[in-house]
Amino acid sequence: MTRPVLLLDVVGLTADALRHMPRLSRLAAHGSRAELGTVLPAVTCSVQSSVLTGRMPSGHGIVGNGWYFRGLGDVLLWRQHNRLVEGEKLWETARARSGGAYTSANLGWWYAMGATTDLTVTPRPIYHADGRKSPDFYARPPGLHGELREELGEFPLFQYWGPTASIRSTQWIVEATRRVLDGVVGGRGGPGAPDLTMAYLPHLDYDHQRFGPDAPEAARAAAELDAAMAPLLDRADAQGVTVVALAEYGIARADRPVDVNRALRREGLLEVYVQDGREQLDPWTSRAFAVADHQVAHVYVADPADVPRAAAVLRDLDGVDEVLDRDAQARYGLDHARSGELVAVAEPGAWFTYYFWLDDDAAPEYARGVDIHRKPGYDPAELFFDPADRLAKARAAGNLVRKTLGLRYAMSTVPLDPSCVRGTHGRLPDSKADTPLLLSSDPAFLDGASDRVHATEVRDLVLRAQGLADERMPHPTERDRVAPR
């Protein structure tokens, strides 16, 4: 009989964070612990896909949290369709090896839409025809939505990301996961945990980026998360469920925003167009532009003849550590058709903004809002109310009243000065302080493995723990484990 596994993505979990997490520390002390060798870019979508497929980004195609979709001519971040991930996923392999008698649940891991898991729960706002956005979530089977909403209330979307992000969103996911482990929701036909239950716990992402991983607020966030997780860990222990907890990345101190797109624009490589007096990125006519994603930026160059010029601009930019062409990308397992012709990697402490305008008065409307799907790059400033606007919080409160009345509103509260950001990630770790961890409640989980496990190895470790390993499968090559700098 397959032993059930609870696979937790504890975002930002490092040795420093673990010191403030007594319940999770006790699990590791009685179980097993290793450092996790992450991938470049060390961001949510890329690392999760490596964990679940056992492949590097060059093999599964998730080269970041988003990229330039060349066939559409658009930059798209935070897509959800599971078909974007190339390769067989962990639960698909397990299902085939078990003869089909294998159940799985996904609560919040990315690329959930259209996935072949038996149960799926993922945030999914309602975008109304009049422009309003309301909290909601997607659930499959469909009846699961009503069950969870009745028991837990609406998913707290505005505490999941943005300036009001807090422990509430993680608590909701934890409580939903407990109910799935108990078999009391989802209509699977009987009690007990699925063979594989995956849950995404994002809480450390917030204050670690807002204040830095070494700030008192970061320590408090770790303690809050541990307290929220404790009932779930206790439930798993009582049911004989093996817990595997990992982080995709550790968050490092940040103090230098780098405006890579503005540098390309000043050199005449990036173009904009204007609507209603506001500038918009023009990817169709730009000779080169960057999709900024924390400390990694994919730079798309339309004409191969412009690659050397674009590379020179990037190398001359203060805060850029490496500029990877296709050959260099191959060393990191990042050489995929979705990658930019060039990939820039920031120096320690630096990170890339997506900003392409040269005058804040010309910034697009979405720049001052929490708008993760329209921005052509990641924006950690969305975690803040604009400190230069004394009325930002009051205006946000007024807009929430308008929302409850069914009126349209615009949350223009995000600062355009990125210097408030204090934590970042994306490059390969530079020290143990920003190295992610892999923990398990099973003392035998890492038997035969070293004290450093690569993200591409986690899949097979879970299969082995469940008695579904294929001993004929080779371990990842050295190139797949970690590329040299």
Evaluate if residue 376 carries a pLDDT over 90: yes
What's the mean pLDDT in 337-359? 98
What per-residue confidence (pLDDT) applies to 484? 40
Evaluate if residue 485 carries a pLDDT over 70: no
Counts of helices then strands in the chain (DSSP H, E): 15, 23
What per-residue confidence (pLDDT) applies to 402? 54
What per-residue confidence (pLDDT) applies to 450? 78
Residue 399 vs residue 17, higher pLDDT: 17
**C-alpha gyration radius of the chain:** 22
Separation CA 427–CA 252 (nearest Å): 10
Evaluate if residue 403 carries a pLDDT over 90: no
Calculate what percentage of the chain has a pLDDT beyond 90. Answer: 85
What b-and-e string marks burial along 393-429, b requiring 16 or more CB atoms within 10 Å of the CB? eebbeebeeebeeeeebebbbbbeebebbbbbbbbbb
Summary mean pLDDT of the chain: 92
- Residue with structure tokens 């078990």? 98
What's the mean pLDDT in 263-278? 98
Q: Are strands 452-454 and 32-37 parallel, antiparallel or unpaired?
A: parallel
Separation CA 358–CA 343 (nearest Å): 23
| 125 exposure class (CB count in 10 Å sphere: 0-12, 13-18, 19+) | middle
Rounded-to-10 torsion of CA 360, 362, 363, 366: 140
End-to-end distance of the chain based on CA atoms, in angstroms?
44
The single-letter code of the amino acid at 313 is V
What's the mean pLDDT in 475-484? 43
Evaluate if residue 393 carries a pLDDT over 70: no
What's the mean pLDDT in 245-259? 98
Are the C-beta atoms of 159 and 400 separated by less than 8 Å?
no
Separation CA 335–CA 93 (nearest Å): 25
Are the C-beta atoms of 138 and 120 separated by less than 8 Å?
yes
What b-and-e string marks burial along 359-384, b requiring 16 or more CB atoms within 10 Å of the CB? eeeebbebbbbbbbeebbbbbbbbbb
What's the mean pLDDT in 299-321? 98
Banded model confidence at residue 186, pLDDT cuts 50, 70, 90:
confident
Evaluate if residue 94 carries a pLDDT over 90: yes
Evaluate if residue 481 carries a pLDDT over 70: no
Q: Are strands 437-440 and 242-246 parallel, antiparallel or unpaired?
A: antiparallel
Evaluate if residue 443 carries a pLDDT over 50: yes
Separation CA 111–CA 125 (nearest Å): 15
Report pLDDT digits (tens) over 274-304: 999 999 999 999 999 999 999 999 999 999 9
What's the mean pLDDT in 54-71? 98
What per-residue confidence (pLDDT) applies to 184? 81
Separation CA 299–CA 315 (nearest Å): 13
Evaluate if residue 396 carries a pLDDT over 60: no
What's the mean pLDDT in 321-346? 98
The HSE-up count of residue 25 (CA atoms within 13 Å, CB side) is 12
Banded model confidence at residue 369, pLDDT cuts 50, 70, 90:
very high
What per-residue confidence (pLDDT) applies to 470? 81
Tally the residues of the chain.
Answer: 485
Q: What angle do CA 307, 312, 318 make, to 5 degrees?
A: 135
What's the mean pLDDT in 300-319? 98
What per-residue confidence (pLDDT) applies to 479? 38
Are the C-beta atoms of 298 and 64 separated by less than 8 Å?
yes
What per-residue confidence (pLDDT) applies to 1? 72
What's the mean pLDDT in 252-263? 98
Are the C-beta atoms of 42 and 36 separated by less than 8 Å?
no
What per-residue confidence (pLDDT) applies to 471? 64
What's the mean pLDDT in 101-112? 97
Evaluate if residue 30 carries a pLDDT over 70: yes
What's the mean pLDDT in 28-35? 97
Alpha-helical (H) ranges within 316-426 are: 326-331, 392-404
Q: Are strands 32-37 and 437-440 parallel, antiparallel or unpaired?
A: antiparallel
Evaluate if residue 482 carries a pLDDT over 50: no
* pTM, rounded to two decimals: 0.93
